[in-house]
Amino acid sequence: MGRSGGGGPAILLMSAVLVAGVAVCDGKLKVGFYSRSCPTAESTVASVVQQFADADSTILPALVRLQFHDCFVKGCDASVLIKGGNNNAEVDNNKHQGLRGLDVIESAKAQLESECPGVVSCADIVALASRDALAFTGGPAFDVPTGRRDGKTSNLRDADVLPDVKDSIEVLRSKFAANGLDDKDLVLLSCNHILLLLLAYYIIASVDHGGELTMATTLYNFPLPGGRKGADPTIPESFLSELRSRCAPGDFNTRLPLDRGSEGEFDTSILRNIRNRFAVIASDAALYNASATVGVVDTYTSMLSTLFGPYFREDFADAMVKMGSIGVLTDRAGEVRKVCSKFN
């Protein structure tokens, strides 16, 4: 699929993907799916994303996260958008804590319903908005195959399968493999953190779904030989001192950048930090502690990769498209919701 190396906030960049015609992807999804049934679909989504970003730029990385959270739970079917009356919908799971961007999707849906009633699915809007958000932050622009339909179920416990920052590398690999994603995809999609960094979007050292302070576990309560607890021994001493000075036990308010030294750019800095043992969260550090993924990290941080490949931006875009194809509903499966937050 065609793509450009850069991406700015120009909405024309998003609508231009249709110029090359319609390309088939995965036999069911295809680029330009709405070119006849709703020609304004992609440009409308891009316009709405831009409007929200003009008011709050942190919504852009949030939209990328929204797609990740949707696709990893029973596929890319917009089930995460459903609001239940008894706190039993998927979105109510603690693993979705802090999820944002649902109002962006709903706004785009409302506008598309006035332009092309009953045509564009909420699942496709999520995928397009994520793609647009990535391009608007300076990431790669790429074509997104569409044709998804919306799911008809949304259950609280379904989201238990989401990857967790405390998961071991074996568990992470297993969860990615269950969705048809390999070790390379694991490393690349872990770089979704880059999107969380781009606009000074920080991880908060707060209580996670298990009631445990994640950073405190890494800095103070890491299991050590002999039943002792202390700091993760893989953290460099200077970095450990820096983190401890900023994140004391019981601190629920400190914000730490996930990517030291490159918080405002889309690049491979987070992978270099992982390689140099400056990863802030455990699931990132695990990527360089496992034989299955250490080579992938090294490949993208090599000085020669910018000249001879592999090319991070292109591969990142490919991984995003691959993730966006997880468990999709097409043809007569599912439905096209009139309102994204509730079933028809």
Annotated binding residues for Ca(2+), written as ranges, equal: 70, 73, 75, 77, 79, 90, 259, 267
Joined together, the tokens standing for residue 42 give 């992609």
Annotated binding site: 70, 73, 75, 77, 79, 90, 163, 193, 259, 267
Q: In angstroms, how far is CA 310 from the centroid of its own chain?
A: 21
**The two three-digit tokens of residue 60, written as one number:** 């852009």
Is the four-CA dihedral 48, 50, 52, 54 of positive or negative sign?
A: negative
Nearest Cα residue to 283 out of 159, 162, 189, 164? 164
Name the binding residues for heme b. Answer: 193
Question: How many whole angstroms separate alpha carbon 123 and alpha carbon 141?
Answer: 19
Alpha-carbon gap, residue 168 to 197, rounded angstroms:
23
Residues that constitute the known binding site for substrate: 163
Q: CA 51, CA 47: separation in Å to the nearest integer?
A: 6
The residue annotated as part of the active site, out of 69, 96, 148, 322, is: 69
CA 55 to CA 3: how far, in whole Å?
28
| Eight-class DSSP state of 157 | G
Residue 240 · residue 231 · CB < 8 Å: yes
Residue 338 corresponds to which amino acid?
A: K
- Residue pointed to by tokens 């987070």: 270
| Residue 149, strand partner residues | 329
Please name the amino acid found at residue 120. V
Whether 209 is a known active-site residue: answer: no
Instruction: Measure CA 265 to chain center.
Output: 16
Active site residues: 69
